[in-house]
Chains A and B, each alone.
Chain A
Amino acid sequence: MSPQYTKTVMEHFTNPHNVGEIPDADGIGEVGNPVCGDLMYIYIKVKDDILTDVKFKTFGCGAAIATSSMVTDLARGKTLDEGLKITRKDVADNLGGLPPQKMHCSNLAADGLHEAIHDYLRKQGREPPLPPGAKKEHEEDDHCVVDVDSPIHIEDTVPKP
């Protein structure tokens, strides 16, 4: 199998957990951009500040699907505060690590969960930890620098001469 992914990543990619939409979700987190090859929707149901259900839909690579699956596993049954404390590193570590060029997927998954919780809190009239419109952490990544005006696209991993 793919030498770049751990066995745990491949298990989650092959049989992802918690796939799907929650039609009456209490909060939805949308992160990523299909232009970059990754788009995640994280759906949550909340009761008494407990994440009773967490599901996802993802357009992306093997790592994007595996990290989506992992973050839903990590979040289910947690309190909102505990959910907000799930970090990008938690997602990657629980998958046994990710190749360097795929680490942004763990960023997206954690941020997607946080966005869903923020969405829920805002709908409840409660102040989320981050002000509305604050820059999402993953947006600071430059993994998807696409210059559409450039005649050619050079991958980030290859140093330009």
Chain B
Amino acid sequence: MERVYFDNSATTKVDPRVLEEMLPFFTEHYGNASSLHSFGQDAYDAMELARERVGAALGTAARDIIFTSGGTESDNLAIQGAAYALASKGRHIITSKVEHHAILHTCQFLETQGFKVSYLPVNEEGWVSPDSLKEAMTKETTLVSIMAANNEIGTIQPVKELAEVAKEGGAIFHTDAVQAMTKVPLDMSKLKIDLLSLSAHKVHGPKGVGALYVRKGVKLRPIIYGGGHERGLRSSTENIPGIVGLGKALEIGMSEMDESVAKMSAVRDRLIEGTLSSVPRSYLNGPRGANRLCNNAHFRFDYIEGEGMILHLDMRGFAASTGSACSTKSLEPSHVLRSLGLKHEQCHGSLRLSLSKFNTMNEAELFIEAIGPVVENLRKMSPLNEKVDYNVATVH
């Protein structure tokens, strides 16, 4: 049975060229980058090359890049680091209701520490309005954090406009770009973004490594203390193989971005068109077209629950998700889908397909053939089928 991987927003396959570049740093160039001898210098040089590559991917200087263990740590360092560093100026943070839990849970923690957090609503496509940000800004606002693209429904946020509003209000602006990197142009020389989180394993790099872009002059308080690595912001011996992999993955990702985006967009559009036209009572969550990530298709199927779909699709060779992989232990519906105005039972029947450059049009055709019978089979078992008429506005 051919296996098709449509869960690339959870994690991606490591590009063989990335792995090849990483391997010597496990067995030959295994030095500690802080050591003065040549083993250490080899590691240090590789780390600094990676820093340059990450900086180049963002259109900024290498010195603005802090290596971390991944997107979650980058988000924590950005949010906690900025909130505490600026606490004497104000204790108000603004974010949105559709952020990743790495942001939302961190903000909730800060609320227990005396900070006030405003969670901006989104429209039915998951879009944060710059006007709503403007209204929420106060003199106490020190930090605004809005993701560049949503990990569940693929909505690309207007970060350029949002960052400008934040800056005009005197706050610094952070964006979680974990899903957007190598798919959406993010040039720090043109955007008023102060802090940006990214992760290697979403862009065909290894797991366990990420980075935080910190614009020159932005003050952060560290959340990990120790030997003073990464300009004192992130102590811990550097993960050199991972950092090498991150640098290479971003270098490849940026150089091949136009081609990859075009390919993924075409497969995505076929998946959306084919699924909606072949499965009755199926809907698209999130926007269509340019405001949607090129690799995201997120469906809702009335009357059924998502996990059953995942299991049946897996038996047919397709790896997909009901939403965020981080939420699979949760029995509550996605906070992102709820924020769109969907009812709980509608959220439960959602399915996320997320693509990579390795997916093909043929795989999309195979999925379109498979999904109809899966949905039909589950609907036959559902007591909701033909008994419920969901009376909500939907994005079709």
Contacts and interface: CB of A to CB of B under 8 A. Distances in A.
A41 B194 CA distance: 54
Contact of B108 (A61, A154, A156): A154
B146 to A, nearest CB: 15
Given A35-B344, A161-B109, A19 B331 contact: no
A154 B103 CA distance: 12
Given A144-B332, A160-B108, A34 B345 contact: yes
Contacts of B333: 37, 146, 153
Contacts of B262: none
Interface in A55-81: 56-62, 64-65
A27 B331 CA distance: 29
Contact of A152 (B303, B330, B335, B381): B335
Contacts of A128: none
Nearest to B106: A161
A59 B331 contact: no
A35 B381 contact: no
Contact of A153 (B305, B338, B348): B338
Contacts of A61: 305, 307-308
> Which among A153, A154, A160 has the greatest number of chain B C-beta atoms within 10 A?
A153
A161 to B, nearest CB: 4
A157 B315 CA distance: 27
Contacts of B329: 101, 155, 157-158
Contacts of A1: 311, 314-315
Contacts of B311: 1-2, 10, 13, 62
A58 B108 contact: no
B383 A39 contact: yes
B82 interface: no
A39 B384 contact: yes
Contact of B348 (A34, A41, A143, A157): A34
A19 B380 contact: yes
Contact of A154 (B105, B119, B314): B105
A151 interface: yes
B108 A146 contact: no
Contacts of A58: 381-383
A33 B330 CA distance: 16
Given A57-B382, A146-B344, A151-B119, A65 B308 contact: yes
B255 interface: no
A55 to B, nearest CB: 11
Contact of B105 (A59, A144, A158): A158
Interface residues of A, number: 41
A155 B331 contact: yes
B330 A60 contact: no
B383 A151 contact: no
Nearest to A5: B311
Majority DSSP secondary structure for residues of B touching A: helix
Contacts of A145: 332
Contacts of A62: 307-308, 311
A94 interface: no
Contacts of A40: 383
Given A65-B381, A155-B331, A161-B109, A13 B308 contact: yes
B46 interface: no
Nearest to B345: A34
A1 B3 CA distance: 13
Interface in B339-396: 343-345, 348, 380-384, 388
B384 A59 contact: yes
B330 A41 contact: no
Contacts of B109: 161
A16 interface: yes
Contacts of A39: 383-384
A156 to B, nearest CB: 7
A13 B381 CA distance: 11
Contacts of A8: none
Interface string A96-131: 000001001000000000000000000000000000
B200 interface: no
Contacts of B343: 35
B331 A153 contact: no
Contacts of B254: none
A40 B305 CA distance: 12
A157 B108 contact: no
Contacts of A154: 101, 104-105, 108
Contacts of B330: 155-158
Contacts of A155: 327, 329-332
Contacts of B314: 1-2
Contacts of B382: 57-59
B97 A152 contact: yes
Question: Which are the 3 A-B pairs with shortest beta-carbon distances?
Answer: A155-B330, A34-B345, A161-B109
Given A155-B330, A161-B105, 16 more contacts: A13-B308, A13-B311, A37-B344, A37-B345, A61-B307, A101-B331, A143-B331, A148-B338, A152-B119, A154-B101, A155-B332, A156-B330, A157-B329, A157-B330, A158-B101, A160-B108
